[in-house]
């Protein structure tokens, strides 16, 4: 049971990472980040079977933070969209040094 | 007097009080500014408060003149409390013959500097005065620190107020000058921090906890290569502060841009911290390196180059403040020559030049500030012939310039003569070269004085100049008295430093031999 | 070897015959003028009442005085002299403190003369610089040499103060003038009375300061301020030598007071490098202070000061300090024939060099200035060849007749200026071409100045004859038998050198006679060239000015009595014997233990030659120079050829300017300041490291594209790299 779960989580995480790296749309990237977070959550849950409930507590934490992050992140995306009429990361370089 | 001071147990509390009073004063002035606003009357209160606090500071410190045993070379009036126990740092302060006159010079000059900026500083008066008070604590702290960590902290404490004083109340290029001052000093002092931490850990190794106590570090026996690097770190920190050629270029900029009081303090006290550092730390801790032939010769050569170079460059400055700044480079060259020539006479002379330079250059900057407030120019060419319009100003300027030239009967002569007569025994050739500094000093200062106050009065704007008012006269007269007193009867001052200087010279000479016997360094 | 030295007390203990006598009050002598300085100095801060225009460019210091005849815009104010409110009080205090000081000095002189003290009496006032092995007391020394000098300083000083009361009466800076003058006398007395080299140095630099202040007294004229600064800086070059000599003394003898140096000097190797260096460095100091080659150029410029100042400082007292120093250090110089010969040779060259320049000067004070330089050279010949008493003797007689000449010229200038002033003429009051025939208008000055002229020319029985003759005879005697004759300088044997010096001395005497007669002829003889209108206002100065001239005239005539030649019997050689306790031993060392006596016939021949030359010079001048054909300054043609070179003083000032002043300023500005400081250190190193950091930052900023995607790629690649590194290891 655990190896399968870990394998799934690895697949999900990789899909999420590749999505973050290759997609240009901020919303999609955001969703990929969520995918990565949940892949990690799956790992935590799976391994809690071995190491006790601490992992499940972490999952609750991660979900809470992810919810907060989604709220802030979406707000930023909307702000950026208002600023430049686009959510394509190619066209956004406000952090340029 | 000594009995009275003993009866109130003066020595036991004076140093912590001297350090605490300005800090409390700074808080007071700051909070007054926050509460009473920045109006004219509130500003005047800030000035008065600061002045009285600093006068109280001077009166308090004056007791040191009588309370210390001048025959002793030991730390006196020691105050010792634990500070950050986990790091082994303690709040340990004390004075000896090397520092007592520096403390008195600081407390003497500070109220005069405040008076010198009385009308010149018009914005953010409260912050300015609070910073001045903090600066006082920083400088005094360096002079009295007996714990090396405390020494470093105070070293940085005085850096920050000075940075703001130049950067906020300075002239047109104040940002450039203050940054230059800050970075120059910081580069040196960070290396010093590394060295201090290393020394503290080494000294505390037997006890398993670092200690930064002066005497404990003094007793350390370090490997020769290590002392070389440590000396290098301290050398850089102090040489920048002195400033020795070629680390001097921050000084002209800082002087020119700083407000009057800033220049006075910079020249009068801050520069002495560098030479004091050499006397207090670099020389006694690492005599083997400092007295190592090529190291010592290099420093002596740099000192002599500083004397001649500073004088020559001063000769051609069109800006009076820059001229005085370069003359400081030359004077501090004499101090370095005296310290590293390492005879009792030359080190005594170095200390006398330090005090004398504090008085005469301080007075020169005050005078420049006084005339600058009236004309708003520092260019020598903008003046000429004003002796007949401002005779008092001219008279005092002449006396102060002569003291800076080293005319016998003024403090300048006693110091320079002692440095040269002492240094001649160990470095005759170098001393003869540096004695040409007395010719050049006469040339640059008299030429400047002539262009300022003599010659025809050909600028109509200068015809209406006002002579010194009572405030300005009152702040210059104490300095004049000091200049003449130390020139005619310097003995009490020399006596107070004699024992410590004797001890320093003999310790360094003895330890240098011992350390060098086991040394593999440089040219071998 | 340096000896840890406490003050050397062995000779000056309580058992000294002068202890407990009036000589204990010696401190009063310098203190009195100092008190005068303080009072007058405070009074000078009270502004002068200004009757002229209120505009400060019109009515300030320096325009209402007599030597501004060439002045331009000041003439309106001339009619409203701004007399100082406290002028009367100052006129009283200024000379009175000098009179008192003179009285005290005379009293102590009398005590000393009666005491037959062989050793100097040292009065210690307080310890001055005490540290390590250095111990310098503020102490005064009473001995035969110091008291003679103190007599001259206070005596001649008093006369010149009195003269100044008249000369400076209308100057608005009157109290300031007397304050400076009193201060000068104070420092001069410290110089001659000081009991150690550092105390002497206090006076030495102090008189330089006063000289600076008084030369630049009328500072509103740039030339005057320049001259004062030049004097101070050139003196400082000399002072550098003085300092180095003191360092050498202290390093090798461990003491700096005269008594200690005297008793320990024998520790120095005779003729060794150390004592020679000490002598030469001391002489560098003398060359600065006493205006010898190569540092003499400041003295002629110093004539920019008021004329009484020229008389006091630049003729009678301060400039002779170098001679005093050599005499004071006789014990050192007698140990080093090389340095002694150098002193004498430089003195001789200066004597003849300055005399040639004096031949073609038109400014009456410039003639006297070069004459002073030349006579100082004479004194150095004397002290250089070890005839210390002869050198000091010439110093004394010169103080009398040169002070008289300067004050006389002051009287002439005073009269000229008053006359030119009445008519509003802008002619130069000091140029002899504008004078002529003044004997009819200034009979007293005329007669007295002729006395001084005969004295300086060396005509018997005037004082200058005796002192000059003594110096020349000493040189001649030592050429055949002395340590100097046995030594050599730069490969030339000393005896030959001494003969050269003797000939140069004679030649200088001839030129002296010529230029002095020339000055007298152009000033007082021939037709008057001042112009019709001015002539009516020419006249003798008030008695407060003429009186001191008369006293100096008497001294110029009778001064020779102080030291008559040896063959004149029991009254002869008074000064020589008087100074014996101070310089006798040193003089004997140079003459190898014997008194240097010439055979009567030889001495007679030498005197004959000297007198012949002096008379010849005067006669030649009378025959060759035609005051009748001289034209006023503005009509005179330019000089040509060598005369032109002389008139421009061999262009020495110009040469110094080109070879020293300009290069120093140029190098300091271009190479050191702009190149080294602003360019290399600040530009390349300080700001350069700033730019380097900024450049690195700029390159770092290029990586910061702002593309979050790029950052993510870098992040993932980094993580994979770290993981890979871990799994490999």
DSSP state of C649: G
DSSP state of B201: H
Smallest Cβ–Cβ distance between C247 and the set B249, B252, B431 belongs to: B431
Count of domains forming chain A: 1
Smallest Cβ–Cβ distance between C206 and the set B408, B454, B457 belongs to: B408
Question: A touches which chains (3+ CB pairs under 8 A)?
Answer: C
Q: Which residues contact C715 (CB under 8 A, 6 or more apart)?
A: none
Give the separation between CA B4 and CA C206, rounded to whole angstroms. 42
- Chain CA centroid to CA B146, Å: 18
Domain-embedded: residue A19:
yes
Task: Say if CB A71 and CB A30 are below 8 A apart.
Answer: no
pLDDT digits (tens, 9 = 90+) for C308-340: 999 988 888 999 999 999 999 999 999 999 999
Percent of chain C predicted with pLDDT > 90:
40
Q: Is it the case that residue C4 has pLDDT exceeding 60? A: no
Give A40's contacts in chain C (Cβ within 8 Å): none
3-class state of residue C57 by DSSP = coil
Give the separation between CA A14 and CA C74, rounded to whole angstroms. 100
Residue A94, classified by CB atoms within 10 Å of its CB into exposed (0-12), middle (13-18) or buried (19+), is exposed
CB contact under 8 A, C706 and A90: no
* CA distances in angstroms from B226 to B28, B198, B223, B230, C716, listed in the order given: 46, 10, 5, 6, 44
Query: Nearest chain C Cα to A95, which residue?
Result: C706
Q: Is it the case that residue C715 has pLDDT exceeding 80? A: yes
Question: C touches which chains (3+ CB pairs under 8 A)?
Answer: A, B
Burial state string for B75-84 with b = 16 or more CB within 10 A and e = fewer than 16: bbbbbeeebe
Q: Is it the case that residue C629 has pLDDT exceeding 80? A: no
CA distance C711 to chain A (A): 9
pLDDT in tens, chain B (524 residues): 788 888 888 888 999 999 999 999 999 999 998 888 878 888 899 999 999 999 999 999 999 999 888 888 889 999 999 888 888 889 999 999 899 999 999 999 999 999 988 888 888 899 999 999 999 999 999 999 999 999 999 999 988 999 999 999 988 888 889 988 898 888 888 999 999 999 999 888 888 888 899 988 888 888 888 888 999 999 999 999 988 988 888 999 999 899 999 999 999 999 999 999 999 999 999 988 888 888 999 999 999 999 999 999 998 999 999 999 999 999 999 999 999 999 999 999 999 999 999 999 999 999 999 999 888 888 888 888 888 888 889 999 999 999 999 999 899 999 999 999 999 999 999 999 999 988 899 889 998 998 898 888 888 888 888 888 888 999 999 999 999 999 999 999 999 999 999 999 999 988 888 777 766 544 44
CB contact under 8 A, B315 and C60: no
Domain-embedded: residue A33:
yes
pLDDT digits (tens, 9 = 90+) for C676-699: 888 788 878 888 888 888 888 888
* CA distances in angstroms from C69 to C50, C215, C219, listed in the order given: 21, 17, 16
What's the pLDDT score for residue C480? 84
Give the separation between CA C31 and CA C123, rounded to whole angstroms. 14
Domain-embedded: residue A25:
yes
Calculate the average pLDDT of chain C: 85
Q: Is it the case that residue C233 has pLDDT exceeding 50? A: yes
- What are the helix (H) ranges across C359-387? 364-384
What ipTM does this complex have?
0.90
Query: Nearest chain C Cα to B323, which residue?
Result: C673
Give C709's contacts in chain A (Cβ within 8 Å): 21, 24, 89-90
pLDDT digits (tens, 9 = 90+) for C285-302: 999 999 998 888 889 888
Task: Say if CB A42 and CB A5 are below 8 A apart.
Answer: yes
What's the pLDDT score for residue B522? 46
Task: Say if CB C490 and CB C599 are below 8 A apart.
Answer: no
pLDDT digits (tens, 9 = 90+) for C660-682: 888 888 888 888 888 888 878 88
Query: Nearest chain C Cα to B305, which residue?
Result: C672
What's the pLDDT score for residue B462? 83
Is the link from the previous residue into C378 a cis peptide, with omega within 30 of 0?
no
| Preferred mutation among C698, C701, C708, C713 to probe A, highest tally of A CBs within 10 A | C708
Mean pLDDT calculated for residue range C607-633: 86
What's the pLDDT score for residue C81? 53
The closest of C339, C322, C431 to C373, measured between CA atoms, is: C322
Residues in chain A: 97
What's the pLDDT score for residue C340? 92
Of residues C52 and C252, the one with the higher pLDDT is C252
Residue A52, classified by CB atoms within 10 Å of its CB into exposed (0-12), middle (13-18) or buried (19+), is exposed
What's the pLDDT score for residue B518? 66
* CA distances in angstroms from B75 to B94, B210, B234, C240, C546, listed in the order given: 6, 22, 22, 39, 69
Percent of chain C predicted with pLDDT > 70:
93
CB contact under 8 A, C716 and A17: yes
- Do A and C touch, 3+ Cβ pairs within 8 Å? The answer is yes
C424-428 long-range Cβ contacts below 8 angstroms, 24+ apart: C424/C75, C425/C69, C425/C531, C425/C533, C425/C534, C426/C69, C426/C70, C426/C71, C426/C72, C427/C69, C427/C530, C427/C531, C427/C632, C427/C633, C427/C634, C428/C69, C428/C70, C428/C363, C428/C633
The closest of C281, C263, C67, C291 to C168, measured between CA atoms, is: C67
CA distance B200 to chain C (A): 32
Give C706's contacts in chain A (Cβ within 8 Å): 92-97
Assess C686–B contact: CB distance below 8 Å, yes or no.
Answer: yes
CB contact under 8 A, B408 and C686: no
Q: What is the CATH number of the domain that holds A49?
A: 1.10.287.3510
Residue entry with tokens 């030592």: C478
- What are the helix (H) ranges across A23-85? 26-51, 54-84
pLDDT digits (tens, 9 = 90+) for C378-416: 999 999 998 899 999 999 999 999 999 999 999 999 888
Task: Say if CB B136 and CB B165 are below 8 A apart.
Answer: no
3-class state of residue B446 by DSSP = helix
Domain-embedded: residue A11:
yes
The closest of C367, C366, C344, C365 to C514, measured between CA atoms, is: C367
CB contact under 8 A, A24 and C709: yes
Assess C60–B contact: CB distance below 8 Å, yes or no.
Answer: yes
CA distance A23 to chain C (A): 9
- Residue B460: count other Cβ atoms within 10 Å of its Cβ: 9
The closest of C394, C234, C412, C263 to C316, measured between CA atoms, is: C394
Q: Which residues contact A12 (CB under 8 A, 6 or more apart)?
A: A35, A36, A38, A39, A42
What's the pLDDT score for residue C439? 86
Query: Nearest chain C Cα to A90, which residue?
Result: C707
- Domain with A53, as residue range(s), is 2-91
What's the pLDDT score for residue B148? 92
Give B407's contacts in chain C (Cβ within 8 Å): 205-206, 209
Which residues in A have their CB inside 8 Å of a CB on C? 17, 20-21, 24, 89-90, 92-97
What's the pLDDT score for residue C179? 92
What's the pLDDT score for residue C50? 46
Domain-embedded: residue A96:
no
Domain-embedded: residue A65:
yes
CA distance C703 to chain A (A): 8
What's the pLDDT score for residue C525? 87
Domain-embedded: residue A97:
no
- Residue A76: count other Cβ atoms within 10 Å of its Cβ: 12
């Amino acid at each position: 049971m655990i190896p399968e779960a870990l394998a799934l989580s690895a697949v999900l995480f990789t899909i999420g990472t590749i999505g973050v790296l290759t997609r240009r749309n901020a919303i999609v990237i955001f969703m990929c980040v969520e995918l990565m977070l949940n892949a990690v959550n799956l790992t935590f849950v799976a391994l809690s079977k071995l190491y006790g409930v601490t992992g499940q507590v972490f999952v609750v934490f991660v979900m809470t933070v992810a919810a907060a992050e989604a709220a802030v992140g979406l707000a930023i995306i909307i702000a950026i969209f208002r600023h430049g009429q686009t959510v394509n990361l190619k066209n956004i370089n406000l952090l340029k040094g | 007097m000594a009995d009275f001071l003993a009866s109130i147990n003066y020595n036991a509390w004076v140093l912590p009080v001297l350090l605490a009073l300005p800090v409390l004063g700074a808080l007071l002035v700051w909070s007054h500014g926050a509460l009473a606003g920045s109006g004219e009357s509130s500003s005047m209160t800030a000035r008065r408060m600061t002045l009285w606090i600093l006068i109280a500071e001077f009166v308090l410190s004056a007791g040191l003149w009588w309370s210390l045993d001048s025959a002793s070379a030991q730390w006196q009036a020691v105050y010792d409390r634990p500070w950050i126990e986990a790091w082994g740092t303690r709040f340990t302060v004390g004075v000896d013959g090397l520092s007592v006159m520096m403390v008195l010079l600081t407390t003497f000059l500070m109220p005069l500097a405040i008076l010198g900026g009385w009308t010149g500083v018009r914005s953010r008066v409260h912050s300015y005065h609070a910073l001045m008070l903090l600066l006082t604590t920083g400088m005094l702290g360096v002079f009295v620190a007996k714990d090396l960590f405390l020494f470093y902290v105070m070293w940085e404490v005085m850096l920050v107020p000075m940075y703001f004083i130049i950067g906020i109340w300075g002239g047109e290029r104040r940002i450039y000058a203050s940054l230059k001052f800050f970075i120059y000093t910081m580069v040196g002092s960070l290396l010093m921090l590394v060295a201090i931490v290393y020394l503290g850990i080494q000294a505390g190794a037997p006890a398993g906890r670092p200690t930064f106590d002066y005497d404990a570090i003094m007793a350390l026996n370090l490997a020769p290569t290590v002392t070389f690097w440590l000396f290098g770190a301290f050398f850089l920190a102090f040489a920048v502060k002195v400033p020795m050629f070629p680390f001097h270029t921050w000084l002209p900029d800082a002087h020119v841009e700083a407000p009057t009081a800033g220049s006075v303090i910079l020249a009068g006290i801050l520069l002495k911290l560098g030479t004091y550092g050499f006397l207090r730390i670099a020389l006694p801790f690492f005599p083997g390196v400092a007295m190592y032939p090529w190291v010592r010769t290099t420093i002596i050569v740099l000192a002599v180059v500083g004397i001649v170079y500073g004088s020559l460059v001063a000769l051609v400055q069109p800006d009076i403040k820059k001229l005085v700044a370069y003359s400081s480079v030359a004077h501090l060259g004499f101090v370095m020559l005296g310290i590293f020539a390492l005879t009792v006479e030359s080190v005594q002379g170095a200390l006398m030049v330090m005090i004398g330079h504090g008085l005469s250059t301080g007075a020169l900057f005050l005078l420049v500030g006084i005339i600058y407030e009236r004309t708003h120019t520092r260019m020598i060419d903008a003046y000429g012939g004003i002796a007949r319009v401002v005779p008092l100003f001219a008279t005092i300027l002449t006396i102060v310039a002569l003291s800076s030239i080293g005319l016998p009967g003024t403090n300048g002569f006693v110091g320079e003569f002692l440095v040269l007569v002492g240094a001649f025994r160990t470095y005759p050739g170098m001393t003869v070269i540096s004695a040409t500094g007395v010719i050049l000093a006469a040339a640059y200062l008299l030429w400047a004085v002539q262009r300022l106050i003599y010659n025809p009065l050909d600028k109509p704007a200068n015809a209406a100049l006002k002579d010194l008012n009572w405030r300005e006269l009152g702040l210059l007269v104490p300095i004049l008295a000091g200049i003449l007193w130390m020139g005619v009867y310097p003995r009490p001052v020399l006596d107070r430093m004699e024992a410590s200087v004797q001890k320093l010279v003999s310790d360094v000479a003895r330890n240098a031999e011992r350390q060098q016997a086991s040394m593999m360094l440089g040219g071998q | 070897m340096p000896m840890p030295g406490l003050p050397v007390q062995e000779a000056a203990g309580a058992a000294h015959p002068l202890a407990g006598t009036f000589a204990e009050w010696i401190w009063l002598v310098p203190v009195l003028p100092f008190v005068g300085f303080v009072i007058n100095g405070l009074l000078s801060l009270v502004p002068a009442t200004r009757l002229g225009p209120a505009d400060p460019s019109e009515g300030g210091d320096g325009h209402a005085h007599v030597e501004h005849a060439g002045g331009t815009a000041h003439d309106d104010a001339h009619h409203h002299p701004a007399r100082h409110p406290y002028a009367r009080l100052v006129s009283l205090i200024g000379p009175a403190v000098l009179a008192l000081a003179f009285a005290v000095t005379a009293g102590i002189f009398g005590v000393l003369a009666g005491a037959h003290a062989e050793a100097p009496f040292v009065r210690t006032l307080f310890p001055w610089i005490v540290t390590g092995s250095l111990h310098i007391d503020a102490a005064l020394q009473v001995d035969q040499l110091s008291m003679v000098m103190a007599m001259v300083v206070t005596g001649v000083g008093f006369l010149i103060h009195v003269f100044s009361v008249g000369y400076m009466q209308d100057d608005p800076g009157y109290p300031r003038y007397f304050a400076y003058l009193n201060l000068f006398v104070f420092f001069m007395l410290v110089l001659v009375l000081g009991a150690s080299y550092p105390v002497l140095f206090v006076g030495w630099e102090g008189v330089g300061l006063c000289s600076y202040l008084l030369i630049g007294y009328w500072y509103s004229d740039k030339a005057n301020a320049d001259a004062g600064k030049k004097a101070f800086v050139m003196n400082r070059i000399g002072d550098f030598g003085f300092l180095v000599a003191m360092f050498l003394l202290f390093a090798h003898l461990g003491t700096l007071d005269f008594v200690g140096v005297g008793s320990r000097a024998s520790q120095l190797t005779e003729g060794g490098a150390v004592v020679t260096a000490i002598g030469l460095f001391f002489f560098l100091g003398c060359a600065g202070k006493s205006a010898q080659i190569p540092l003499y150029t400041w003295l002629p410029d110093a004539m920019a000061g008021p004329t009484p100042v020229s008389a006091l400082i630049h003729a009678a007292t301060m400039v002779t300090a170098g001679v005093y120093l050599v005499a004071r250090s006789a014990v050192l110089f007698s140990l080093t024939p090389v340095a002694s010969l150098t002193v004498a040779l430089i003195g001789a060259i200066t004597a003849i060099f300055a005399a040639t320049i004096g031949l073609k000067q038109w400014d009456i004070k410039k003639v006297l200035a070069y004459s002073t330089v030349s006579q100082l050279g004479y004194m150095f010949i004397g002290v250089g060849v070890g005839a210390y008493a002869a050198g000091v003797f010439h110093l004394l007689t010169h103080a009398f007749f040169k002070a008289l000449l300067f004050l006389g010229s002051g009287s002439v200038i005073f009269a000229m200026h008053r006359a030119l002033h009445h008519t509003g003429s802008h002619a130069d009051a000091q140029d002899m071409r504008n004078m002529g025939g003044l004997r009819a208008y200034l009979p007293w000055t005329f007669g007295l100045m002729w006395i001084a002229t005969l004295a300086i020319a060396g005509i018997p029985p005037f004082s200058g004859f005796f002192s000059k003759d003594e110096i020349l005879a000493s040189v001649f005697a030592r050429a055949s038998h002395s340590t100097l004759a046995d030594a050599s300088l730069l490969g030339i044997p000393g005896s030959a050198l001494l003969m050269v010096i003797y000939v140069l001395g004679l030649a200088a005497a001839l030129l002296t006679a010529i230029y002095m007669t020339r000055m007298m002829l152009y000033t007082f003889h021939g037709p008057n060239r001042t112009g019709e209108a001015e002539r009516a206002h020419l006249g003798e100065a008030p008695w407060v000015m003429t009186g001191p001239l008369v006293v100096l005239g008497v001294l110029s005539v009778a001064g020779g009595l102080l030291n008559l030649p040896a063959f004149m019997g029991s009254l002869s050689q008074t000064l020589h014997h008087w100074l014996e306790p101070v310089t006798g031993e040193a003089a004997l060392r140079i003459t190898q233990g014997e008194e240097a006596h010439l055979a009567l016939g030889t001495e007679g021949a030498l005197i004959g030659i000297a007198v012949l030359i002096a008379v010849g010079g005067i006669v030649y001048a009378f025959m060759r120079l035609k005051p009748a054909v001289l034209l006023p300054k503005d009509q005179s043609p330019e000089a040509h050829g060598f005369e032109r070179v002389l008139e421009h003083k061999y262009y020495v000032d110009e040469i110094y300017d080109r070879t020293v002043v300009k290069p120093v300023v140029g190098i300091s500005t271009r190479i050191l300041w702009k190149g080294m400081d602003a360019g290399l250190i600040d530009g390349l190193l300080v700001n350069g490291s700033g730019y380097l950091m900024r450049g690195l930052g700029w390159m770092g900023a290029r990586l910061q594209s702002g593309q979050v995607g790029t950052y993510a790629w870098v992040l993932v690649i980094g993580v994979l790299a770290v993981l890979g590194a871990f799994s490999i290891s």
